[in-house]
Amino acid sequence: MRSPVQRYLESIVEQCSGTGGEVAAYIPELANADPDRFALALATVDGHVYTVGDAESQYSIQSISKPFTYALALSDQGFGAVAEKVDVEPSGEAFNEISLASDTGRPPNPMINAGAITAASLVAGDSSSHRFNRVRDWFSGFAGRELGLDEEVYTSELTTAHRNRAIAHMLREFNILEGNPEETLDQYVRQCAISVNTHDLAMMAATLANGGVQPTTGKRMLEPTYVERVLSVMATCGMYDAAGDWISAVGMPAKSGVSGGIIAVLPGQVGLAVFSPRLDPHGTSARGVQVCERMSKDMDMHLMHVGRMSNTAVRARYALSQVSPRRSRPDADQAVLDEHGDRAMVYELHGDLLFAGAEHVVRAIVDDAPDLVILDVRKVDDVAAVARHTLLGLRTVLREAAGEAAVVDPHGVMPDPDAGTDQASPYFDDLDSAVRWCEDELLRRHGREPTDEQTLVNEHPLLRDLSLEAREVIDVRMEELHFSADEVVLEAGGKFSGVHVIVEGAAIATVERPSGGAVRLVTMNPGTSFGELALGTDGVQDTTVRAISDLTVLRLSAESIEEITATQPRVALEMWQAMTRDAYRVAERALRAGATFG
């Protein structure tokens, strides 16, 4: 089963296939780059990576190195020492502008070259080579694998680094750099020539998105307080003289590099990396910007789109076979459900569903690969448009594999755009009705039509497990009762009035909250019994049962049960044994379901 997230990313790449821009010609080795290479990688904070294009192809990291070197400088020196050498103010200037504050000599920020060279000098080490090795190990920790150096790019860039050499010497003139500026320049050029691929960059971005913890290794690379500073500087300065346009249109902290890479970070959710060597006038990947703008719009990835996030949108997931049944089934039907119940899954969701939450749901379902899915969104507060589209994409994937998804949505938080058409999904107000649909669908898929209502009644253990003699005694005492929709059948607090078996229609059982208002516990359909639980609560009914449609039930009254017990002990023994077996059956399956959730 292919993820709809993967499909979406592939479609975006096809739609954003612009050929504008030119490769970086001022560095000879980069001038030889294939302008049509492309890769996209999206990494979640739990380490799953989606890729499109050649995400394993290597290229030099270039200026995407800057936020990570700045992070290492902060980690080595602390806020105060770093702030004495480099500021955090947007410059509004190009990346290679010779720009220092007139009063202090400090570079405006660590994202332009002057600030990045300064940050490189603040990495702790005995020599430039020692500092560079620490930088490479640092980058490798963020990527989750050992990274190498592109010697050809390093040599090519160092021999043409006249402007950066002038910047380094000017920094030394103002005592921003200490020691030999040539050594610092060499270290800076080497860090820009570290070889990465788009998968690496996505993982590096995801580490920042994950609060400084590398998603796959679990290693803390950077303390949260430094992550905040790095992301803040990326948001205001990472895209140089286009930073305002970027943060308005895309809305994610980001950094670009002249080799054609871009990283973007959506805190708490994902890290994004795009590679395309054709650059716009700002020195940023033209196609990469186009892809990022489109994804931000489609996927609600703008930083200012605020939602209440939870660690995961999936509150619980379990197979249909682990759900305690609410009605009896004939043995042959139950055998099918027991055998194939693992092919249907229930996913209980909660919180606000943004892209990351929907992606987590979709990935869980794709990994499980069920035939039938129930999405229970009763505890979901809001669903962003991107989450809705993602889940609808999942429905398409399921249907292509001859599957189906049902939705439990009594509050209408995730309306079906196909409602009223033959493309509509099954929608239910409660989980029990959805489970009933799922069971019926499983039976059909395995050659059994769902049992008719009268057979369901006859298969109830109170009737099915009796001898012919006992059944005749019980049958004559069963009274047929009728209730209108919304009529109360049993009132909480009332005395035990008998065992009720639904013949037609449906009813709900509710309890009152201590703070007021009713909570629906279960919806009951034909073949379901109710009322007998009062026998275990001192004969007092602890739930209210109300008809939700015209309802017909068969009732064996409390008086009839007492009369049979007193006058026909053999029948009474069979009756109580049947009721006890049913209670144990329900309890056993409920415990099995409970073990799943515990």
Tens digit of each residue's pLDDT (9 = 90 or more) over 277-315: 999 988 899 999 999 999 988 887 888 765 444 456 888
H/E segment holding residue 329: none
Give the pLDDT of residue 35: 87
Q: pLDDT tens, 339-366?
A: 999 999 999 999 888 888 889 899 999 9
CB–CB of 139/222 below 8 Å? Answer: no
Give the pLDDT of residue 465: 80
Hey, CA dihedral for 16, 20, 26, 31, is it positive or negative? positive
Which residues belong to the active site? 63, 66, 188, 240, 258
Q: pLDDT tens, 21-37?
A: 777 766 777 777 888 89
User: Which of 85, 210, 187, 212 has the alpha carbon at shortest distance from 136?
Assistant: 187
Give the pLDDT of residue 275: 96
User: Which of 272, 264, 356 has the alpha carbon at shortest distance from 307?
Assistant: 356
Q: pLDDT tens, 1-58?
A: 789 899 999 998 888 876 677 777 667 777 778 888 999 999 999 999 999 999 999 9
CATH superfamily of 454-597: Jelly Rolls (2.60.120.10)
pLDDT grade, residue 560 (50/70/90)? very high
Cα gap 363→357, rounded to integer Å:
10
Cα gap 437→450, rounded to integer Å:
10
Picking from 125-134, 199-208, 472-481, 577-586, which range would have the lowest pLDDT averaged per residue?
577-586
Cα gap 183→17, rounded to integer Å:
41
Mean pLDDT value of segment 228-253: 92
Mean pLDDT value of segment 214-220: 97
Instruction: For the chain, give the mean pLDDT.
Output: 88
Cα gap 560→537, rounded to integer Å:
20
Domain boundaries of the chain, sorted by first residue:
4-298, 314-445, 454-597
Question: Would you identify the CATH topology of the domain 4-298?
Answer: Beta-lactamase (3.40.710)
Question: Would you identify the CATH topology of the domain 314-445?
Answer: Transcription Regulator spoIIAA (3.30.750)
Burial classification of residue 37, based on how many CB atoms lie within 10 Å of its CB (0-12 exposed, 13-18 middle, 19 or more buried): middle
* Residue 598 confidence (pLDDT) above 70: no
